[in-house]
Amino acid sequence: MSNLFSAGKSLFVLRLPHPSVVIVALPFLLALAGCGDASPAAAVTSPELEKKPFQPPKPQGDETETTVSTEVLVGKTYERPRGAYIQDEKVPVGALRGVCRFTGAVSPPPPRAIDLAGSDAIRSAEKGELDYYQNLAMQEQPAVLSQSPGTPAVPSNVAIMLKGVKVGRLAPPVRAAFTALHGRLGRSQGDAYGFYGWSNVNFGPAGDRATLATGDLFPCHIELTHMARGKLVFEGACASYHDPKQPGKRWGTGDWMGGPKLSQTEPLHEPGVYRLSCRRHPWQKAYLLVVDNPYVTLSGATAGRSGAAEFGMNGVPVGTHTLEVWHQTCEPVKKTYEVEIRENETTEIVIEFKAPPELARLEGRK
C-alpha cells in the first residue's frame, strides 16, 4: 500500500483475486482543457489483502427534496439530452480510489476573517443584518487545509470526474441544490456522489436546473456565471427564512417540518464550471460542475492517514476512462489522466497539484 503514496508513482492497478474486491466509499469531474499522457498500468496480485464478497454499488437517489422542504413544488423531472447516460445494473464494474497532494510540502494559509466593514460589506443591509452576520464570527472557507498544526497542507474539495461514461450501474446525476446557512453558501445534499460533509462544490446533470435557498434570516441574491465564457446565465433572489412559530431562529438541517423557500435556475444545458456568488453577501461563493454522468466525486476536506486528501468511486464500468481534475484555486500538474478499470478490482491513482506560489513551503520537507 505504501507504493500508492510514494513520489513518482502516478498510477497503478491493485488486482484482487476474483471474486474479491476492496471498495473504498468516498467520492468525483468535468471537462476542462488539457490532456494527460499516463498510460494504463499493469495489474499486480495481492493475495494478502482481506477477501470480501463483491457488492454492487448502492443506487443513488434525488436527495434534494429530503434536505430542503418548500411550500412551492419544484419539479424534479427535466428533459435529458439525446444520447444521455443510461443506468444498467448488469454492467461489469470495478472501483477507483486515490489521493490528491501537492508536489512539495506546503503550509496552509492562515484563516481569513470575513471583513464585514471592508471588502465583504453587505450590500443594502437590512435592519439587524450586520449584527446577525457579525455574531456568526465567520471565516473564509479555505480551499487548502492541513490535518493538524505543523503538517503539510492538502488541496481540499478536488473535483474528480470520469468523462463520457454512457452506461453504468449508478443512477443518473441528481439535481444540484445549494443553501446559504450560517453565512456560508454550499451544497444541500448530504452524501450525494459518495461524498459526505459540507462543501461549496457540487455537481448537477446537463439539461437540469439547480435549486437555491437560504436558511439564514436575510435574503440572498444569487448570480450564476459560466466561468469559461464569463457569461452571466442566471440571477435571482432567495427569500429569507422565517419560522412564524420561532421568529429570529434560522433554519437547521433537523427542521424537517418546514424549510426555506426554494428558487431555481433555468435549465443548464452547457457542461462546464459555473460560479455562484451572492450579490448581497460578497464572501458567499460556490461552484457547480455540470456533468453528463454520475461518476464524479470530491476529495476529502482534510488529510487522511496517507497524509493526502483521499477520494474513491464505486461501481465504475469496466474499461479505459479519461479522468478529469478541477480545483477552485490550485492548479493540477495534469488536468486529465487515463485510468483502466477491471472487473472486481480497485484501480489506484495519485493526483498531484503545483504548490500555490503565495503559500510558504515548510522547511525540511520534500
CB neighbour class for 322 (10 Å; exposed up to 12, middle 13-18, buried from 19): middle
Q: Strand runs (DSSP E) across 189-230, as ranges?
A: 201-205, 210-214, 220-226
Is a pLDDT exceeding 90 seen at residue 344? yes
**Count of residues in the chain:** 366
Is a pLDDT exceeding 80 seen at residue 141? no
The segment with the largest mean pLDDT, out of 46-55, 98-107, 141-150, is: 98-107
DSSP element (H, E) containing 317: strand 309-317
CA atoms of 356 and 329, how far apart (whole Å): 8
> Residue 253: what pLDDT?
54
* Cell numbers representing residue 104 in the block: 512539495
> Residue 331: what pLDDT?
93
* Cell numbers representing residue 221 in the block: 441574491
β-strands 11-15, 43-45 pairing:
parallel
Of residues 89 and 72, more confidence is placed in 89
Eight-state DSSP code of residue 40: P
Contact present, 273 and 187 (Cβ < 8 Å): no
> Residue 81: what pLDDT?
65
Of residues 143 and 340, more confidence is placed in 340
CA atoms of 347 and 14, how far apart (whole Å): 6
CA atoms of 26 and 22, how far apart (whole Å): 13
β-strands 93-102, 309-317 pairing:
antiparallel
What three-state secondary structure class fits 4?
A: helix
**What predicted TM-score, i.e. pTM, was given to this entire model?**
0.75
CB neighbour class for 6 (10 Å; exposed up to 12, middle 13-18, buried from 19): exposed
Contact present, 193 and 354 (Cβ < 8 Å): no
Q: Mean pLDDT check: name the lowest of 39-48, 95-104, 145-154.
A: 39-48
Tell me the pLDDT tens digit for each residue of 284-321: 999 999 999 999 999 876 666 667 888 999 999 999 99
DSSP element (H, E) containing 132: helix 129-134
Per-domain residue ranges of the chain? 2-51+72-78+87-353
Overall average pLDDT of the 165-188 stretch: 92
CA atoms of 312 and 26, how far apart (whole Å): 4
Nearest to 297 by CA among 212, 171, 188, 201: 201
Of residues 198 and 348, more confidence is placed in 348
